[in-house]
Amino acid sequence: MNCTAVILAAGASRRMGRPKALLSIGGETFVDRLTRVFQSSCTEVVVVLGHHAAAIRPLIQRPAAIAVNPDPARGQLSSLQCGLALLPPSADAFLFTPVDCPSVTESTVRSLLEALAAHPDSLLAIPRYQGRRGHPVACRASLAREFLSLPAASQAREVVHRHLDQTIYLDTDDAGVLVDIDDPQAYDRLVSQAPVL
């Protein structure tokens, strides 16, 4: 399946004191680790920057397309729309995740895409750990138009909820699908755990 991954790294990092994209995990920055993980299954990775773009961009080590959200204060949907604007016509699917969800494994990404490919009537595949939904979300490329047409005050989950009857939930033992680093305490817990591969 020809897939593009979109990493949303445009948000501000007031509580962390530095850009989340540049936080380190297992010797890699969040953005580089996610790029590597997605590159194992995707033909292209798009990193969407906004706040701190000038500081983050030169420190990205892995090759990726870069989109810059000119108004990241509009929220995460606006960043997703910036990333989807670069979706190639050849794409069959795309995945998206916030950069502060850095722990998903390569095998989970691969399994999401395999599940989507195996169910041609489904539009989304979402990982689930112990009954809780997480990231990344895998979507058929045809859904890009719906995300792009959402008004500014909307949220991406509106499209997801619209298609719950066409969604595959992938139950996984990958707890990384739920990791969300929103504050220094969550980051301290992450780095104190066993290294993430």
Q: Where are the domains of the chain?
A: 3-192
Question: What CATH code is assigned to 3-192?
Answer: 3.90.550.10
Return the pLDDT at 124: 98
- Give the model confidence (pLDDT) of 75-111 as tens digits: 899 999 999 999 999 999 999 999 999 999 999 999 9
Residue 194 binned pLDDT confidence (cut-offs 50, 70, 90) = low
Q: Three-state SS string across the chain, please?
A: CCEEEEEEECCCCCCCCCCHHHCEECCEEHHHHHHHHHHCCCCEEEEEEECEHHHHHHHCCCCCEEEECCCHHHCHHHHHHHHHCCCCCCCCEEEEEECCCCCCCHHHHHHHHHHHHHCCCCCEEEEEECCEECCCEEEEHHHHHHHHHCCCCCCCHHHHHHCHHHEEEEECCCHHHHCCCCCHHHHHHHHHCCCCC
- CB-based burial label for 1 (10 Å; 0-12, 13-18, 19+): middle
Q: Over 90: is that where the pLDDT of 192 sits?
A: no
Q: Over 90: is that where the pLDDT of 44 sits?
A: yes
Radius of gyration of the chain (CA): 16
Only one residue has tokens 């939930």, namely 169
Return the pLDDT at 90: 94
Only one residue has tokens 């301290």, namely 188
Does the pTM surpass 0.85? The reply is yes
What is the biggest distance separating any 2 CA atoms in the chain, rounded to whole angstroms? 44
CA atoms of 29 and 164, how far apart (whole Å): 33
For residues 49-58, average pLDDT: 93
Buried b / exposed e across 86-113, counting CB within 10 Å, b at 16+? Answer: ebeeebebbbbbbbbbbbbbeebbebbb
Polymer length of the chain: 197
Please name the amino acid found at residue 131: G
